[in-house]
Amino acid sequence: MTEGISNEAFVLGCSAIGAGIAMIAGVGPGIGQGIAAGHGAAAVGRNPGAQGQIRSTMLLGQAVAETTGLYGFAVAIILLFANPLIKKL
């Protein structure tokens, strides 16, 4: 008799791997926000009078960039805890 993993264990393992891959989506926004903050600081250094405009534009761009990381986090949480794939077995 051959022993192997059950279908449920296989789906749970693949879901955990998928959640880990989805969390990689948080790396890009972190790098992008750091670059944006650096460029914003340089812009304020060149033109201190435009600090308010530069800050608001930078924060808007960082908020948009952060949504990618939040979507990846939401997918990871769904795969780990809601696990819609188990219902397909």
pLDDT average, residue stretch 3-20: 89
**Quick one: pLDDT at residue 42?**
93
Q: Is residue 12 part of a domain?
A: no
Q: At 38, which CATH number?
A: 1.20.20.10
Q: What is the pLDDT of residues 33-89, one digit of tens each?
A: 889 889 999 999 999 999 999 999 988 988 888 888 899 999 999 989 998 878 877
Q: Is residue 75 part of a domain?
A: yes
pLDDT tops 70 at residue 12: yes
Q: Which long-range contacts (CB under 8 A, 24 or more apart) does 76-80 make?
A: 76/18, 76/19, 76/20, 76/22, 76/23, 77/19, 79/15, 79/16, 79/18, 79/19, 79/22, 80/15, 80/16, 80/19
Q: Is residue 29 part of a domain?
A: yes
Give the number of domains in the chain: 1
Domain holding 77, by residue range, is 21-84
Per-residue pLDDT band for 2 (boundaries 50, 70, 90) equals low
**Quick one: pLDDT at residue 50?**
92
**Quick one: pLDDT at residue 43?**
92
pLDDT tops 90 at residue 1: no
